[in-house]
Amino acid sequence: MNRIKEVLKEKGIKQKWLAEKLGKSYNMVNAYVQNRQQPRLEVLYKIAKILDVKPKDLLKEDR
């Protein structure tokens, strides 16, 4: 599970903008945001860099 949706909301960033920066389709980014699909590790790091957060800030802890 990831926190991409929460981080986008906190920063006021739209999924479409993130998709453009990542070079991915809106549908792919939406799948990440809705936790229907998890990004590969290298994509997660790229998302973190674009959003100016640490990669671990995009992850939820399992409890």
Q: Band the pLDDT of 63: cuts 50, 70, 90.
A: low
* Interacting residues of 14 by C-beta distance below 8 A, sequence separation 6+: 8
Evaluate whether residue 16 is within a structural domain: yes
Evaluate whether residue 58 is within a structural domain: no
Mind listing the pLDDT tens digit for each residue in 12-21? 999 999 999 9
Q: Are 22 and 50 in contact (CB under 8 A)?
A: yes
Evaluate whether residue 9 is within a structural domain: yes
Q: Band the pLDDT of 58: cuts 50, 70, 90.
A: very high
Evaluate whether residue 20 is within a structural domain: yes
Evaluate whether residue 41 is within a structural domain: yes
Mind listing the pLDDT tens digit for each residue in 16-53? 999 999 999 999 999 999 999 999 999 999 999 999 99
Q: Which two tokens stand for residue 41?
A: 């590790």
Number of domains observed in the structure of the chain:
1
| CA atoms of 52 and 35, how far apart (whole Å) | 20
Evaluate whether residue 60 is within a structural domain: no
Evaluate whether residue 18 is within a structural domain: yes
Task: For residue 22, give its domain range.
Answer: 4-52
